[in-house]
Structure 1
Amino acid sequence: MKPQLILTYQYIKLRSRNHSNGFTLVELMVVIIILGILSAVGMKTILNEVSKAKQAEAKSSIAHINAAQSTHWLAQGTFANAMSELSIGLPSSTANYTYIISGNISLGTVNATASDTMLKGYVGVVERYADGNQKQIISGIICESAAAGNITSLPTSGRPGTNACGTNVELGR
């Protein structure tokens, strides 16, 4: 090959290599936009899961308190009026919820008041009543607010399936 042809070939090869080593501004902008969309979708999902985890704390605590209220009634003949009477080691307040307990001879309630307006409120109710055969029963339910915010009207029954939660959601025993 002629030396001039070889130099021209090497020059073209070198020149084309230098121009293809980077990304164009348009390519970078497209990637940044796609990453922005993906992170916006991901953040919404992550924030949703954080709220669910905090709400799981309230559901779990109320389930323990309802069970302790049943045990307290069997031992004392009345439902407890304070967390300290139950002796279960749960705090009456956490970073996410404050638990207010009240009770009498036939009904025990616990209201989980959320500290954050984005969290749902919960109420637990335990009731002692006689069934159709006059057999004494102690049962409880957990009510969840239908939307974020606290439950303002406490249920007056702990009987499952009686629509005691009203417009709120009944989670079960």
Structure 2
Amino acid sequence: MQKSLGFTLIELLVVVLVIGILAAVAVPQYEKAVWKSRNTQLKTAVRSVVQAQKAYLMANGTYASSFGELDIDLPLDAPAVSAGIGNTCQLITTGPDSIRQGKDFYVVLNNSSAASGSISAVWTSGKFKCNGFGWTPHKEDKLVCIESRNGTATSKNDEFCQGLEQGTPGELRAAWQRYELP
């Protein structure tokens, strides 16, 4: 009698099939976990600027329109080009010092009459480009998830805020869909 020392073709195909099924389930879950972790960085940046804006309001009676006015130390840089040119997500800015850039994201102060004191932070590249988080003091005074509806986003509608952040749809404001976060 001869002893078999290898695997049959069927056994190898079953192993490859099982590995493929596991990968099909695990990769999307891994990607979702990575984006949730990255979003924590964006939320932290917004919350830091919110606290600085509130302190500025208490001291001056108005909101800051530039980062130079805020008492905050963020590890972010001014964009290399002017805000209008470097702002790929078409965020409203009030000047070159009202926008800061991190790795793959922008944080923007908006002190226009319609959105005085509001803050937005969005991804500038990747799967969720032009989606992120915002804060407006007058209406909700809480962090909200925002998705661009002006044609600059790279994800499907509701994929970021509802799918990833479990947000509840709110109002559509100036081509930005807002979602309340849990």
**How does the TM-score come out when normalised to structure 1?**
0.65
Q: CA RMSD in A?
A: 2.8
Q: 1:124 aligns with which of 128, 131, 135?
A: 135
Aligned residue type for 2:125: D
Following TM superposition, by how much is the alpha carbon of 1:171 offset from its aligned partner in structure 2, in angstroms?
3.0
2:116 is aligned with 1:107: yes
Task: Report the structure number with the largest CA radius of gyration.
Answer: 1
Q: Which runs of 5+ in 2 are unaligned?
A: 77-99, 155-169
Query: Which blocks of at least 5 consecutive residues in structure 1 are unaligned?
Result: 1-11, 130-138, 151-162
User: Aligned-pair distance for 1:147?
Assistant: 8.0
Cα offsets for 1:47-98 (capped at 9, x unmatched): 1111112222111111111111111111122111112321211122111310
Identity %: 23
SS for the counterpart of 1:126 is coil
Aligned position for 2:145: 144
Q: Deviation above 2 Å: which 4+ runs of structure 1? A: 102-107, 116-121, 145-150, 163-167
**Could you tell me how far apart the structure 1 residues matched to 2:51 and 2:101 are?**
19
Q: Does 1:73 align with 2:74?
A: no
**2:68 matched to 1:84?**
yes
CA deviations 1:103-145 (Å, max 9, x no partner) are 3799301121321252232221123x9xxxxxxxxx7222212
How far apart, in 1, do the equivalents of 2:52 and 2:126 lie? 28
User: 2: distance between equivalents of 1:140 and 1:165?
Assistant: 17
Distance 1:87 1:63 in 2: 14
Q: What letter is aligned with 1:124?
A: W
